[in-house]
Amino acid sequence: MLVLKFGGTSVGSVENMSHVKDIINDGQQKVVVLSAMSGTTNALVEISNALKGGNSSLALSLIDALRSKYIEVISHLFEDEMLAVESEQYVRWIFKNIQDCAQEFYTERSYNQIVAQGEFLSTFLFSRFLQQEGINAQLISALDFMRIDRTNEPDMFYIKQNLNRILTETEPADIYITQGFICLDAEGYVANLQRGGSDYTATIIGAAIKATEVQIWTDIDGFHNNDPRHVPDTHAISNLSFDEAAELAYFGAKILHPQTVMPVRDLDIPVRLKNTMEPKAYGTLITNEIHGEGIKAIAAKDDITAIKIKSGRMLLAHGFLKKVFEVFEKYETSIDMITTSEIAVSLTIDDITYIREIVEELSKLGSVEVDSYRTIVCLVGNNIVYHPDTPKLFQIMQDVNVRMIAYGGSNNNISLLINTSDKLETLRKLNRYVFEPELV
């Protein structure tokens, strides 16, 4: 069986839903995972922020605006009167639930409840749309099988047991539709796999049912060799290894949720990235195989904060780094890059929720400096650390102010921390050097 995941733009308009219908209606049995329609999760986050800030009148007006958008979608999506009426009732019921959350005392659980509604809406409307088009599809609820454990990792045993049971118990269908992103937590409350988590849902499902392939359909034709928003003439990379894709997804190439390849990598289930608007394009195929040599892709990740801890007292004496890491562990904040010297250690984070507390605790270990608005530029390719062309990088970068370098942490990745204001120039320079050497 295949697993196909479609992102927000793929289900963001009637026309695009119709493209998705054509793609999935090929007689092969599959699970289809959907994100919320584009813009919806952001709008739901805004609603919850308004509630969190105690501004319920703003929340109610945002709820009204979003509901009207859905009522409008229904009017374009359905010619079948019965399906239109049923869908409108469903949409009104969902928004009534959101309004009910607005009446209650706001907690983290309210946030989780509210942001989950986007995927319920998209999957309900899409499944009714398929019904109208005469396609045999069954809607299954992700909350009946998708669960995370106390460490927020997918509970694979539970997911496998329940999903496989549901698939055998549900009436046979060509297409099973389910929600991406949402799940239950270890206590049975509605939770999620973090923003962009629908990709992760798809590979978790792929692993649970031992799918033949997981396809992630989005609005771009795969991983590009550089950031197409900033560099002209980038191209999709046809083949990546799981390791290369994991590095790229983590360091900036926004196209894939960073954890996506993890569930399927050891099972060797290929992941294919495809473009809904250009289904014939090859896209990017991610497998265990290694293709090509040298730097394959450049990506950038913004909003990075660098923290330097400087200590006069034997900084690298054993036990010091442990104490530093324990602070980050305590605040569940992951570290991206790290470099050390005898008297200082620098590291970067992208989640600054607890920055104040972290700095306060680190100050007990030494003097602390924080630099915000940095960018990690990351070069990815199999074994690039050993590639004979790689050292030339340092010539290219000689007039860029590089704050940190991570070289050799993994053979497939070299990361540079620069000022965000130097990002465009750096990406373009590296692009010329790596992909257009004849022009340099």
Question: Please, what is the minimum distance in Å from the beta carbon of residue 190 to ligand ASP?
Answer: 14
Q: What is the pattern of x (binds Mg ion, CB under 5 A) and - over residues 162-201?
A: ----------------------------------x-----
Cα–Cα distance, 47 to 62 (Å, whole number): 6
* Residue 273: count of CB within 10 angstroms of its CB: 27
Q: Does residue number 118 form part of the binding site for ligand ASP (CB under 6 A)?
A: yes
The option from ligand ASP, Mg ion, none interacting with 8 (CB < 5 to 8 A, set by class) reads ligand ASP
Fill in the amino acid letter for 319.
G
Q: Which stretch binds ligand ASP (CB under 6 A): 33-41, 95-103, 224-232, 311-319?
A: 33-41
Q: Which letter, b or e, does each residue of 356-385 get, where b requires 16 or more Cβ atoms within 10 Å of its Cβ?
A: eebeebbeebbebeebeebbbbbbbbbebb
Indicate the length of the chain as a whole number: 440
Alpha-carbon Rg for the chain in angstroms: 23
Residue number of the CB atom closest to Mg ion: 196
Question: Please, what is the minimum distance in Å from the beta carbon of residue 353 to Mg ion?
Answer: 21
Q: What is the pattern of x (binds ligand ASP, CB under 6 A) and - over residues 187-216?
A: --------xxxx------------------
3-state secondary structure 322-379: HHHHHHHHHCCCCEEEEEECCCEEEEEECCCCCHHHHHHHHCCCCEEEEEEEEEEEEE
Among 47, 66, 129, 180, binds ligand ASP (CB under 6 A): 180
Cα–Cα distance, 378 to 16 (Å, whole number): 33
Size of the site for ligand ASP (CB under 6 A): 11
Fill in the amino acid letter for 37.
M
Q: Which stretch binds ligand ASP (CB under 6 A): 19-27, 34-42, 148-156, 233-241?
A: 34-42
The option from Mg ion, ligand ASP, none interacting with 118 (CB < 5 to 8 A, set by class) reads ligand ASP
User: Is 19 in contact with 276 (CB distance < 8 Å)?
Assistant: yes
Cα–Cα distance, 341 to 427 (Å, whole number): 28
User: Is 48 in contact with 110 (CB distance < 8 Å)?
Assistant: yes
Q: Does residue number 256 form part of the binding site for ligand ASP (CB under 6 A)?
A: no
Question: Please, what is the minimum distance in Å from the beta carbon of residue 49 to ligand ASP?
Answer: 15
Among 181, 217, 242, 250, binds ligand ASP (CB under 6 A): 181
Binding site for ligand ASP (CB under 6 A): 8, 35-36, 41, 118, 180-181, 195-198
Q: Which residues bind Mg ion (CB under 5 A)?
A: 7, 196
